[in-house]
Every structure is written in C-alpha cells, then in structure tokens.
Chain A
Amino acid sequence: MRTTPRTFAAALVLASAAVARAEVIDASATTVVTAGQQLRGALPGVTPGLDTVAPVYELISLQAHDLRNPLFQNLEVVVAGWASYDTADRRWNSGSTDNFTGDLTAGYVRGQLFSRALTLRLGRAYVAAGAGRMLQLDGGDLLLRLPGGLSLSAFGGAPVAQRFRTRAGEQSWNPAGGDLAYGGRLGWTLPLPGVYGRGLDIGASYVEVTDAKLTVKDPTDPAGLRTFTDGGGNVVRQDAGLDFRLQPGAALVLTASGTYALAAGRVAELNAAALWTASERVFVTADFKRLAPDLFLSQNSILSVFTDRERTDLGGGVRWQATQATSLGADYHVLVEPTGEGGKTELGHEAAARAEWEAGHSRLGAELSYLVAGALGTGQNGYVGGRVFGRRDLGRAFVTGDVQLHSFKQEINGTKLAVQGTLSAGYALAGGWSAVVAGRAGVTPFLEQQADLLVKLVYNQTYRVREVK
C-alpha cells in the first residue's frame, strides 16, 4: 500500500498543464490558516496535556471540461489536492510524522468514445455505483452503454491509502483494507414515457478486494517474534450486490439495494427507501436499513470472526415548506440494536427536527437532535442536541453565527454538557477572490475551554477558453 506517489504527482502536473487547452475550467484555490489546541494523552492519574496546532493549508481544485482533442468527447480532467504545514505542534489527523504533508483527494481524466457509448476514466476516483460503497481507487473504470437500455461498468485498481511519502509515517487509513480491488455492474434501464425521471433501473454488481501480503504474529511465541507470512490474495471483501430504482410517476421514487458477502455467506447490507413529493410543499421519506457491521471490517482482520450481529434502522421524515420563507422538517428512526446476548435486541431512537427561515438577505435556522442507541449502560450513551444558526448578507460582505449544544445522557470525562459557538465574517473581493475570518469557542467534555481561529483566502473562478459550439 505504499507504492511510489511519483506517478500521481506527475499526473497532477500534467493535468494542471492540460487545463490551459480546456474549453471550460473551474478553478479554486483556498489558503487556510487555523490555530487552536488539541488534547494529548498522559499517564493514568495525570492531567492530560494540550498541544497548540496551527496548520497552514493550501487546497486546490481544478475541473477542466471539453478539452479539445481529436479522439474523446467530453474529455475532462479533474484534480483536487492539498498541502499543509504545521507551524506549531503536529495535529493528530495529518496522517504524517512530518510537518509538511499533502495528498490528492481526487484526480482523474475522463472521456467518452463512440457517440458517448463508452466512458473511460483513469486516476483517483470513487466507485459509487452498485455495491461499490464509495470505494476510493487509484485505477480506472469504464462504462459501456449497450442497446436495449443495458449498461456494463467495470473497475480495477488499488484502494486508496496515503501514498505520498510525506504521509508515510502513519499506518494506512485505507478503509477497504486491501491492495487490489476490481468488480463491475450490469445495469438495465427502462425509461417510461411521461414526466422526467419516470422509469426503472435495475443493477447487479460485484466487488472483490484482496490483500497482497499479510504478516501475522504467532501467538504461541512468548517472545512475540515469530510471524506467519501469507503469500497474499486473501479476500478482504467479496460482495455481490443488487440495486433498484423505480419512479412510477412524478411524485414517487422507490429505491432498494442489497449486498451479500460471499465469503461469509451472509447479507452485509439491505436498504430500501421511498421518497414521495406529496405536494409542492410537502415531501415525505420512509427508509429501512439493515447492516452487519462485522462485514464492514476487512475480512482478513481476526476481529471479523467474532460476531454475526445485525443492526436495523427504520423510520422516515417530513419536510414542509410552510411559507415561501419558512421550511420545517422532522425525522425519526427506531434503531434495533443487538444486546450481545444470543439473538436478543433492544431499541434505540434517533430523531431530528429542523426549522429554517430565509428572506431577503437573512437566513435563520434551528435544529434539534436526539440519539440513544439501545439501553444506556457501560459504554452506551446518548445525547440531546440543539443548534441555532444564522447568516446575514451585507452587500459584498456576510456574517454568520452558529451555536451548538449537546447534553449527554451519561457523563463523559466528568461532564454532561458540550457547547460550542462559531462566528464568521467574509467579504467578496474583486476578481473571484474572497476572504473569511472565523472564531470558534466552547466548553466540551475533553476541553474545559476551547478556542480556535481560522483565516481563509479563497479564489474561485470559471474560465471559458472559447465559445460553445
């Protein structure tokens, strides 16, 4: 998982050079400086310490569309990446043991051939369709549209880890766990006459992730020095999926999907949802989800052999556009959780409500949230949350405010309350530039007093090299 990053950096350079020939370019550059404190651990009984972190980030994003070329239609180059430097202590979530680091969040070249029947993509991208589960890959994929509404997609590559050497000091954060991933989806669409969106989509998909080489300590060796070494090729994930979308009319959309873990011989995930536009002002959803969390662990993890418990959540929500300026919404889901004893379950509850008012240059909102998953006890907690926020536009300037409060059912680190407020102000400068200053302060279970500062300079611009034909 620590392959050289040179290829990706070279691709970034090439892509950046290529955009000058593109027809439409969306470019964004953001410089962010933050300063605050992060908690670090300490010996038992000793007060934990605080580290001052003040990273400087540079985030860039380029999307170049309609690149002029003799071969592909809709050729596009998409690159998004960042670099940062920790000017004080190193933050925990940099993924690096170096003060200077950076990574590529997305970067690919995509083009279409044969009157858009074949779409090819090469680079760092997500597999969103079917059982892909937003698998982020360094690799390639294709989509072939066949007659009769059939489509065939395939992908292959290496699940994304932090590849740049500046980030090699930490273990891989790759959630897929493996080194090689491949799969595809066969889909069929049946468009129905009438309103837009009306139709049926059905798909069957397959995803396999394998590891390259595994070294495991021999537990029978008291010194802990002896290891097993596996030649690789072990299945980390091997899922078959089905997905479905039906829109019988303008107002109703039904979706369902399921994933079956072939190696474990069990269903890993089931989803179903109904989205109903009851009227111009009322939107109703109902959804069901059943998951087997252990099948979301890499199947080469020893922990994946210990349990087979499933979790279900079921519920729905309503959104009501009460007036042109005011919208209200509420959601509730019941959570069916395993107790850990036999097949017994207990119920948890998740609820949320939101009200929003927007008129002229002002916007106000309020949110309530509630979560308790199962019976409260050791290792099981819950919270009631509230949030109010607002924004006021003042010509080229704006100010926003945001206050969040959470009351926990059981004490966390000796307290039951977390409060945090953020104030920000921004100004749209000339030529696509804008600036934002934000300050955040709060009292939380892990930090009795917390304060952070952020200064941001943003450049956002769309360029058109030539007229649209």
Chain B
Amino acid sequence: MNRHLLVAACAAFLAACAAKDTKPVPKADPPYVFPHSPHVDGDVDCKACHGSIVNSSRLEARVRHVGLPRKNSDTCNGCHDDKDFQDKIKLAIPPRTRAFDVRFDHKAHLARPGVVCTTCHKAPPEAGQAVAARVSMSACTSCHNHQADFTAARCTPCHVDLKRYEKPVAAFRHAGDFLRTHGSLARPTAETCAQCHDQTFCADCHSATTAAARPSILYPEAVQRDFIHRGDYQSRHMIDAGANPASCRKCHGSAFCEACHTQRNLTQFSPIQPQNPHPAGWGTDKAGGNFHGTAARKNIVACAGCHDSAGSAICVRCHMVGGIGGNPHPASWNRDADEIPKNAMCRACHG
C-alpha cells in the first residue's frame, strides 16, 4: 500500500514540475551596453535615461526603466558634437530577465531630500559588463538601523530570498572549522540559519534515521565539502566513537548500530553463533585490564551499540539486587527510590 503512495508522490512531483505556468529562470542576462561612468563623470542626470524610475515602487524582473533621450536633444548634444551619433551606434537596450534579490521602492526613496541615484549606486555597470555590481548593504544601513531586524532574522521583508546567494557573506561567513562550531551558533540563532537554509539542507547530514545514504556516497564529486564520515568510514567509526561517543548518539540510535553488527555477526541477534568481540578476561578478570565493568564505565555508549535493547537480559543477570555483580550504579547516582515502582527499567533489578 505504502509503496503505491510513494509512487503516487513521485508522480505528483513530476506533474508539479511540468506545470504549464512555470518558467525556468534564465541563467544570465546579456551584457550591459551603455558606458555609464563617462556620463556620471559628465554630470548627466541619471533621470535623463531612467526617468520612469522615480515612479517605480517595486522592482520588476523584465523592466529596466530605460528610455533614451530623443535624437538631437540637448541632453546628448551638450557633449556629443556629432548630431547623428545615435544612429551610428544603434544602442539597443536588451531586456532584463533575471528577478531581483531584494524588494525596493525607488519612488519613496528618491522623493526623500538628499537621496540621489549615486547615493546607493556607487558603481553603475559599464558596457560589456555581464553583471552589475551589487549595491552594498551599507547603502541601506547608512540611513536605516536594521539591527533589530537582523537580530530577529527578519531578512525577507527586504531580501526576496537568501537561499540563492552563492556564498555566505559578512556576518554570516562560515569560516574556520564550521562543521565543529555551527551547532553552537545555531542554538541561539536557529531562525537566522533558516533564512538561507531549508531543513532539506540540514537533512543531508542530520537525518541518519531516514536518509537514503550518507552524503559522501551520494555526492562523490563534491571533493571540497566538509562531509562527515567521508571515505572508508567503516574502519574508522569505532575510533571516532571512542573519542566522542555522545556525538554518535545525536543521530544514531542503538538499532542503527545493530543493523550492521547483526549482519556482521557481532551481536546476540545474529542468526548464527555470534563472533565474540570481547577480549579474554572480559567477564570476571578485574586485574587483567580487560574487565567489562571498567570498559563500561569508560564508554557505556559502545556497549549500547550491541546490547542496548538486550541490556536487561545480559547485565541484570548479575547486577540485580542480590546478584553476583553487585551495585552497578556510579557514585553520583541519586535517583529517587519512589521511581522504582513506576519504572519498568528499575523493576528489572529492584522488582
């Protein structure tokens, strides 16, 4: 039944992608054709060509707000001696097709005293330039104090969508060993992370329970990325687990470990006699250096990799009240005795 639903979901996905009213976004616009800098240097009013921008209250992908001056107008002839130059250069403004990354009201801003085009557009594009220089956010913050919005991760009122930025910038720079530090940063500011990252991005590494395969298997070509568990991790996993067992437990339940250990014939769940991975003296030789109690105190999570769901049968046999294993609790054990009758785990020994 469920496989049918999964197939139906895949079909719905494909149907959604083929929806008629969706249009793929072009990769790039044609290069700019107008040499802006000599005109800016010549104090030509931007509105001579971009007159309609003063009435634009929103940015639209297909609108450039360009209207070249009439032939032989004073605007051009003030500098250009050749009256027919416009016919000779045949300046054709290509349409803009890419959507904007920000929401902006030119009409409201240009109506304010002291605000001119170059207040924000410090470096207008030149002829041949493929992409215009992005207006720096300091142009906005020189007038607006957006600190509260920034701290509250309210980027989207101005930014259409941060998810398509190629690299994190400025305060969001993911420098250093970001694999190690990103968790500490996310705890107080998870909403800030969500401004750029859907949880599908987190799921690449954090969905050990439901993932298809680990990311380094699915993306072998991404050689520059800091993937966890890259390469032959089977040989290294027990070393990493010994160094930081809690880290494993954040993503992997005991049954995940058992799924492999069972097939490797390393657990009591194996269909045939398990290979005993424990050294000699494991059971009772306290002085020999291989005693199981010492190992358990050191790294109980390693025990859980095979024995978590059978702990009551294996451990309790000796460690129950009156058993030969004695009291297994550490010195700091301070659970309330009232918990015993309520908790099946306690009753296993204290029943």
Contact = CB atoms under 8 A, between A and B. Distances in A.
Contacts of B13: 16, 27, 29, 60, 62, 79
B313 interface: yes
A161 B209 contact: yes
Interface string B130-169: 0000000100010001111011101011001101100000
A164 B246 contact: no
A331 B347 CA distance: 47
Contact of A217 (B22, B99, B313, B320): B313
A271 B148 CA distance: 26
Interface residues of B, number: 158
Interface SS, A side: strand
A402 to B, nearest CB: 5
A13 B17 CA distance: 13
B180 interface: yes
Interface residues of A, number: 214
B154 A356 contact: no
Interface in B229-249: 230-232, 234-236, 238-240, 242-247, 249
A59 B15 CA distance: 16
B149 to A, nearest CB: 8
A100 to B, nearest CB: 6
B83 interface: no
Interface string B185-222: 11111110100001110110011111111000110110
A309 B298 contact: yes
A106 B199 contact: yes
A78 B200 contact: yes
B259 A95 contact: yes
Given A234-B345, A271-B184, A461-B24, A296 B209 contact: no
Contacts of B244: 291, 311, 313, 335, 373
B341 to A, nearest CB: 11
B224 A356 contact: yes
Contacts of B193: 128
A59 B252 contact: no
Nearest to B234: A446
Given A229-B344, A245-B185, A311-B246, A382 B239 contact: yes
Interface string B1-44: 11101111110111111010111110000000000000000000
A216 interface: yes
Given A43-B273, A160-B210, A297-B308, A228 B181 contact: no
A230 to B, nearest CB: 4
Contact of A296 (B22, B258, B301): B301
A257 B239 contact: no
Interface string B298-337: 1111111001110111011100100000001111111100
A303 to B, nearest CB: 5
A186 B156 CA distance: 23
B270 interface: yes
Contact of B223 (A149, A296, A390): A390
A228 B347 contact: yes
A83 B259 contact: no
Nearest to B231: A404
Interface string B262-275: 01111000101101
6 closest Cβ contacts across the A-B interface?
A41-B265, A197-B171, A9-B5, A340-B298, A373-B243, A230-B344
